[in-house]
Structure 1
Amino acid sequence: MASITLNHVAKHFGPKVAIADIDLKVEDGEFLVLLGPSGCGKSTLLRMLAGLETVTSGEIHVGGKRVDQLPPSARDMAFVFQSYALYPHMTVRRNIAFPLIMRQFKWWFHIPLIGGLAKRRIENSPAVRDLVEKTARTLSLTDMLDRYPRTLSGGQRQRVALGRAMVRQPEVFLMDEPLSNLDAKLRSAMRAEITRLHGRVGGTFVYVTHDQVEAMTMGTRIALMRDGVIQQFGTPREIYTAPANTYVARFIGTPPMNLIEAALEPGALRIGHVALPFAKAPAGGEAGQGGVILGIRPNALTVSPAAGEQAGVGQAGLFGTVSLVEHVGAESVIAVKLSDGTTAHEEEGAVPGEIMVTVQGYSELKPGDPVTLGADLSEAVLFSRETGRRI
């Protein structure tokens, strides 16, 4: 069993707290994604799992065995780096076989002639050769085994790096932003490749990325981090539909969730002068009636041309003016500046008074057009104004 358990794990670099008291349980065979912006601690956490960073406090268990005091070589984990880290003077075959060669390392391998012959003998042994060729077939690298890394494309090099990890048949695969050096088309193809690889070889995958698309499409569960603290741990669907706080709401989704200052009233939600029927009771005990932050996804809003240019104060919806229209393939993204009601401007990336709407197809609206917005509040989420947590 390759389950991973972190008990009160922390990492300090002098006075700097990189990881703050994390508890986490990853089940055997899961694909966990550590997601967050640069500097949030996700790569540090991965390196502590691998043994490349020491743990300041806490314990790490893999398969029920404590490993935080073991050297990296004794943890039965394979690490795929962001920069491929292939040996340029070795063929693809030797790069993939190298972990198996080093598994039988002897001190006299350092002697140039004798060590070279010994390594070649291990590489050409039936067991190693069969395992390398099986791994190459899995990753469609069979025709490249005798080529050198400099002759390969970025995607092919990344597959070689994956092969070098796979050939060890480890219990845990650790991947540190392995697709960040690839272009958009290759990233999409490699996302699918890694997902299929997880399905074929099993094992527990821990994958670090700052790309929410990778996290949402690949992970069975996501740990979203900020400043060394896990903000939410759950399935992609849970994090998307029920964000734990306003930070998660703004981080997940493209465009991100709209955050609008509102007031909760009996049977209604008031935004500025507009009262919208609202029957959903808060899930927590932080708010009764009073000020809240309404979170609503862009696809839960509708937009239509306004009958006139007077500020809307009725019950039908919100009035605003189009400030930006982006046509993105099968849908259009429309930014609307509200004439009444303000987005929760304290959240990074939110424009005061502006909300985003996505509509199917090519929208004929233009900047400056007056519009009325409707909202499906059955998909709304409420957050506390004081703490930012979901209520």
Structure 2
Amino acid sequence: MASIKLAHVTKAFGAKAAVNDISLDVSDGEFLVLLGPSGCGKSTLLRMLAGLEKVSSGEIHLDQRRVDTLPPSARDMAFVFQSYALYPHMTVRRNITFPLIMRQFRWWFHLPLLGGWAKRRIERSPAVRDLVERTARTLALTEMLDRHPRTLSGGQRQRVALGRAMVRQPEVFLMDEPLSNLDAKLRTAMRAEIIKLHREVGGTFVYVTHDQIEAMTMGTRIALMRDGVVQQFGAPREIYANPANAYVARFIGTPPMNLLEARIAPDGMVQVGPLALPLPVQLAGIAAQPALLGVRPSALTLARHATDATLSGQVVLVEHIGAESIISIKLADARTAHRDEGAAPDEIMVAEPGYSALRAGDPVRIGLDLRDAVLFAPDGSQRLTARPAASLAVAA
């Protein structure tokens, strides 16, 4: 196992910084997930860890050893690619064995007869055969060792790619969106296998994905990135419950958090449209000011009849997804502040258990439960927190 330390790591392509001044500490045996949308710099950061991209500035340390100046072969890291990157002319056994052959590579391995004999000798040695077969058993590949990649399914090919990484027994496993080419059911199964692999192998994993469900279920900690900058670094539950800014709040959670324009009053109430509600204990003491109120869809309730403690709206869309229904509602008397692409203005989402009988066009009233609500600055750049003397601070 190994710890990883990134100190002010930057990668620039011309005038554009793909990764901008990132500092992270990853402990031995952690499962770190680099999460973010396409183009945020997460794969570039992973490739810098592997040595496939040069660092423009900053340092990368593996345990106490600086590695950003070393070639990939000297870093003791195994890389699992998105596209599997298997050798189609080799059997599964030879694909898994290949890193062990390359450890003993000599120039004359290129000679057809002599090189072929040397590679077979390594492959058939007791130590290598035992390691390959143990790895195959772990990944349920024993019956496929003599098959070629073209005869395997996507999930089986991904297991071969994992086996090729495992057999090296590296200090760090690096994975670049390894499940993105699989269908939804297979992704779920492979997700469980990788979690199990991490538990059994005990190594340090760095995993890149744009899928927040993968990040929340697999990672011990998540680094959520945007435009080359880490927006928040922490445990999945911490990021979900205490998002550092509005971007994090909207990115983590399915469906995403609703953001409503609000105003904190001097009397400790929060005004949302015509509705005035008392702030919960964790938010009491924040100074009077405009703000964004963040409320998860599961914290909203629907009613057909008007009350003093509800907002009015009209159903736009109802999505039935089995255990719950996701209902999109156009607000009539309050404004939303969703700044991400694709979010309809003044629409909120409500998650209701079971099968909803509502239909598009139905008028509804929405009640807000603020027990787990969060408040952000009006521009969404930081979370507002209550501190002694009613001070405002950016959440860590």
TM-score range, shorter chain: over 0.9
Deviation per CA, 1:135-190: give whole Å up to 9, x if none. Answer: 00000000000000000000000000000000000000000000011011110000
Query: Within the alignment, does 1:381 sit opposite 2:374 as a pair?
Result: yes
Show structure 2 runs of 5+ residues with no match. 385-396
1:230 matched residue in structure 2: 230
Query: Within the alignment, does 1:180 sit opposite 2:180 as a pair?
Result: yes
Structure-2 separation of matches of 1:363 and 1:315: 24
Deviation per CA, 1:271-322: give whole Å up to 9, x if none. Answer: 11111222445489xx611210000100011112125xxxxxx632111111
Deviation per CA, 1:184-215: give whole Å up to 9, x if none. Answer: 11100000000000000011000000011110
Identity value in percent: 73
Query: Within the alignment, does 1:359 sit opposite 2:352 as a pair?
Result: yes
Q: Is the 8 A contact 1:306 1:319 kept in 2?
A: no
**For residues 319-330 of structure 1, what are the structure 2 equivalents within 5 Å?**
319-330=312-323
Structure-2 separation of matches of 1:260 and 1:347: 14
1:21 matched residue in structure 2: 21
Q: Is the 8 A contact 1:19 1:229 kept in 2?
A: yes
Q: Is the 8 A contact 1:276 1:315 kept in 2?
A: no
Structure-1 separation of matches of 2:230 and 2:186: 30
What's the CA shift for 1:97?
A: 0.4
2:327 matched residue in structure 1: 334
Structure-2 separation of matches of 1:108 and 1:283: 74
Amino acid at match of 2:277: L
Q: Is the 8 A contact 1:306 1:370 kept in 2?
A: no
**For residues 81-92 of structure 1, what are the structure 2 equivalents within 5 Å?**
81-92=81-92
What's the CA shift for 1:387?
A: 5.0
Amino acid at match of 2:279: F
Structure-2 separation of matches of 1:370 and 1:277: 26
2:117 matched residue in structure 1: 117
Relative to structure 1, is the Cα distance of residues 54 and 283 closer, same or farther in structure 2, using a 3 angstrom cutoff?
Answer: farther
Q: Is the 8 A contact 2:292 2:380 kept in 1?
A: no
2:133 matched residue in structure 1: 133
**For residues 239-388 of structure 1, what are the structure 2 equivalents within 5 Å?**
239-265=239-265, 266-280=267-281, 282=283, 288-307=287-306, 315-388=308-381
1:163 matched residue in structure 2: 163
Structure-1 separation of matches of 2:258 and 2:194: 32
Structure-2 separation of matches of 1:384 and 1:347: 16
1:10 matched residue in structure 2: 10
Structure-1 separation of matches of 2:106 and 2:359: 71
Q: Is the 8 A contact 1:30 1:203 kept in 2?
A: yes
1:44 matched residue in structure 2: 44
Structure-2 separation of matches of 1:150 and 1:303: 52
Q: Is the 8 A contact 1:319 1:373 kept in 2?
A: yes
Please give the TM-score of this superposition, normalised by the length of structure 1: 0.96
Show structure 1 runs of 5+ residues with no match. 308-313
Relative to structure 1, is the Cα distance of residues 32 and 79 closer, same or farther in structure 2, using a 3 angstrom cutoff?
Answer: same
2:143 matched residue in structure 1: 143
Q: Is the 8 A contact 1:268 1:279 kept in 2?
A: no
